[in-house]
Structure 1
Amino acid sequence: MSARKQAGNQGGRPRDSRVDVAVAAAVRELLAEVGYARLTMAEVASRAGVGKAAIYRRHATKQEMIFDVLLPDSFLATAPDRGSLRADLAAVLAEVVDGMAAPPPGTIPGLLADIHADPALRARFEEKYLHAQRRTLTGILDRAAARGELAARPDPAALNALLVGPVFAWLFLLSESPERLPALTSALLDAALALAAPGAGRES
């Protein structure tokens, strides 16, 4: 969290959750209407019916605002427990796919470019997105090991790359249709199981 954001939240009146809801709705609407590059804090404030000061108390920059809207604190907050390694990984992959495919075209590539240009935002991205995924995958692998499903325990970072990288490439490098993602995710799950449990059969 940025120093400006921390300072804005210390003391004073409690934050009004209605403002957060209105701002998030405005961000999503404007991303669909004008796109990531053209969206401004002033437009969000006007659409949400709040003052710009209310937004700046919550988000130091446009990029931080969009990041917080698209990546809520609930993202992969807990490791899913669906009874098998394949089912747990499928639940993680579904959440990752939704996070990439749901925003309007151009949003994710634009935001990632800005994240990598801002050290503070990049640090938040790593903690809230990358580290969250790896903590969740570590929890899933721990449970799979306890169930006796693992013949080999993969590196969570490698497993993370295997699940996320192809989805990013599919959507943003190859510009393939999100509607064809189910076939890709099924193949990714097969590959993940081969990495995590060589020789194991597929589990439903």
Structure 2
Amino acid sequence: MSTSPGADGAADRAGVPGGAAGAPARRAGRPRDPEVDHKVLEAALEVYADLGWAGFNFEAVARRAGVGRPALYRRWLSARALLVDAIERSGTRIDVPDTGSVRDQLVVLARQLLVEYLGAPGIAGLRLLVDARTHPEVFADLYARRNEERVRAARAIVRRGIARGELAPGTSPTLVLDAVCGAMLNHALATPDRLRKVVIAGGERYAAELVDLVLEGRPGAG
């Protein structure tokens, strides 16, 4: 598969993002088929994870999704609009209910991040970090918005723990989250493809041991 967008790909990518703050621009028309939408959005994330922005275009996504290019043209005004939609709907928001236990919430967070990092959403997130710097006019607002939401949600977990007295008043949310989130990213990056399913299956235990190490200074405290 070529990583060059070509003439058609360049035209796909040239659209101006619609809506405020770069919100996805969609075409009006007949009702959308949810199944086609799902296939296209999933394929878009995979193509971006594999090829980055340089290789991202309607043709590559349509081929990966097994649909015709007109299906994409009817739904999105540009390749950027499609990619923004795919990233924002990829389920990579931090979703950790307040259970009343900072330890349990950090374990859930760590497990979520591990699964994400080992799949297309995580690789797409790393691509987005790079592309936001090399193509700020295309992705800076999307990355900043996505990153701010995730950081705010993660820091809230630690701050609730401090407020409840589970953590010392001087505990740094930054250091706790750097240790937990950074370790999960490193663990995922060090995992070969052949072991991904095994690592995901053991993710709950690994997450618990990691969090116990960070909070208590020893693994398996819980």
Given that 2:209 and 2:221 are in contact with CA atoms closer than 8 Å, whether structure 1 keeps it comes out as: no
Residue in structure 2 matching 1:93, options 87, 110, 116 = 110
> Using the alignment, how far apart are the partners of 1:163 and 1:105 within structure 2?
16
Corresponding residue number in structure 1 for 2:51: 36
> Using the alignment, how far apart are the partners of 2:90 and 2:139 within structure 1?
15
Indicate the SS of the match to 2:168.
coil
* TM-score of the pair, normalised by structure 1: 0.67
Given that 1:141 and 1:153 are in contact with CA atoms closer than 8 Å, whether structure 2 keeps it comes out as: no
Residue in structure 2 matching 1:57, options 77, 85, 110 = 77
> Using the alignment, how far apart are the partners of 2:98 and 2:122 within structure 1?
32
Q: Does 1:118 align with 2:138?
A: no
Per the TM alignment, residue 70 of structure 1 is displaced from its structure 2 partner at its CA by 4.7
Per the TM alignment, residue 153 of structure 1 is displaced from its structure 2 partner at its CA by 4.3
> Using the alignment, how far apart are the partners of 1:139 and 1:10 within structure 2?
33
- Taking only aligned residues, the RMSD between alpha carbons, in angstroms, comes to 4.0
Which residues of structure 1 form unaligned runs of 5+?
none
Please say which of residues 13-22 and 159-168 is displaced more in the overlay.
13-22
Cα-to-partner distance string for 1:131-166 (whole Å, 9 max, x where unaligned):
223212232223323432112443333333222222
> Using the alignment, how far apart are the partners of 1:146 and 1:135 within structure 2?
16
Corresponding residue number in structure 1 for 2:208: 186
Corresponding residue number in structure 2 for 1:144: 161
Pairs aligned (count): 191
Percent sequence identity is 19
Indicate the SS of the match to 1:116.
helix
> Using the alignment, how far apart are the partners of 2:121 and 2:92 within structure 1?
19
* TM-score of the pair, normalised by structure 2: 0.63
Per the TM alignment, residue 12 of structure 1 is displaced from its structure 2 partner at its CA by 4.9
Which residues of structure 2 form unaligned runs of 5+?
1-14
Indicate the SS of the match to 1:82.
coil
Q: Relative to 1, partners in 2 of residues 1:5 and 1:164: Cα closer, same or farther, differing over 3 Å?
A: farther
Corresponding residue number in structure 2 for 1:169: 186
Q: Relative to 1, partners in 2 of residues 1:110 and 1:137: Cα closer, same or farther, differing over 3 Å?
A: closer
State how 1:71-110 maps to structure 2 within 5 Å: 71-72=88-89, 74-76=91-93, 78-103=95-120, 109-110=126-127
Residue in structure 1 matching 2:38, options 9, 17, 21 = 21
Per the TM alignment, residue 109 of structure 1 is displaced from its structure 2 partner at its CA by 4.8
Given that 1:9 and 1:58 are in contact with CA atoms closer than 8 Å, whether structure 2 keeps it comes out as: yes
> Using the alignment, how far apart are the partners of 2:162 and 2:123 within structure 1?
39
